[in-house]
Amino acid sequence: MSESGNSDAPLFFERDGRVATITINDAPINRMTLDFMDRLEEVVDEIAKDPTIGAVVFTAAGDENFSVGMNLKELPAGAKRMGSVEAVFDQRLRVLDKLENLDKPVIATLFGYCLGGGLELPLACHFRLAAAEGAKIGLPEMDLGSVPAWGGSARLTRAIGRDRALDMILRAKKIDGPEALRLGLVNEVWPNAELKEAAQKLARELATMPHIAVAGVLRAVVNADRAQVAQGIADEREAVMATMGTKDQQEGMRAFLEKRTPVFNQE
């Protein structure tokens, strides 16, 4: 099973034995476009139904960046296509929830820019491996006059704790791989040239484990704090919608597009 022959595909979905690999196909910055998210939802559903897949690797094309997250310029088109801005965000929340609740381990590779949705998606994976050099990992939505919109605040808090999550989000911090390892955000750090193969090796190892037992552990661990994460995501959604259309949010977007420092507190 392979889609790599179609260079225009928003993602590649490939199989090698019991390991499936999903590759974001928008190098060098690997945006998570509307078409990408539509296809990703289909792929995650396919993986969920396939008992012959034992583990999944989530990576990105090229060796420069994992993902800068959503293509913000597509948001108006997405709202028109799906009926509302809320529907665009709801789809992304739904897909990440499906990914997190797969009954097989999912491993994400973090290298280069891993920002916004480019971190929120790995946060929904079960293992995260980061590059030793060059990674810029963070949730910079505060610089846009907004807040994370795909469950990032809740899942980051679960991963590294309240105080560290607040420090990263409120200060729009971007950290590297070794710092992410120190904080407990990633499981392992590898030299850049070895990162993707390390993820494949881990996936092959996990895919040999007894499937029923693996599925049971994943269900128990993911569900252990499910209510707390769900409440955090609900609170996050309320915060997202409260920022939509505000003067600060508009200023943040203009500053982003104009590549300048925003001037906030304009309300």
Torsion sign (Cα): 32, 38, 44, 50: negative
Amino acid 257: pLDDT: 79
Instruction: Respond yes or no: is residue 120 known to be catalytic.
Output: yes
- In order of 78, 142, 256, the CA distances from 168 in angstroms are 28, 10, 19
- The boundaries of the domain holding residue 19 are 11-195+202-211
- Whether 242 is covered by a domain: the verdict is no
- Whether 131 is covered by a domain: the verdict is yes
- Whether 59 is covered by a domain: the verdict is yes
Amino acid 4: pLDDT: 55
Q: How many domains does the chain have?
A: 1
List the catalytic residue out of 133, 141, 188, 194. 141
Q: Whole-angstrom Cα distance, residue 34 to residue 40?
A: 10
- Whether 50 is covered by a domain: the verdict is yes
Reported as a single tens digit per residue, the pLDDT across 35-52 is 999 999 999 999 999 999
What band does 228 get if pLDDT is binned at 50, 70 and 90?
A: confident
- Whether 126 is covered by a domain: the verdict is yes
* Phi (first) and psi of residue 134, to 5 degrees: 85, -10
Instruction: Respond yes or no: is residue 141 known to be catalytic.
Output: yes
Reported as a single tens digit per residue, the pLDDT across 238-266 is 888 898 889 998 888 888 878 889 899 86
- Whether 255 is covered by a domain: the verdict is no
Look up the CATH number of the domain holding residue 149: 3.90.226.10
Residue of 40, 24, 13 whose CA lies nearest to 96: 40
- Whether 140 is covered by a domain: the verdict is yes
List the catalytic residue out of 3, 41, 120, 238. 120
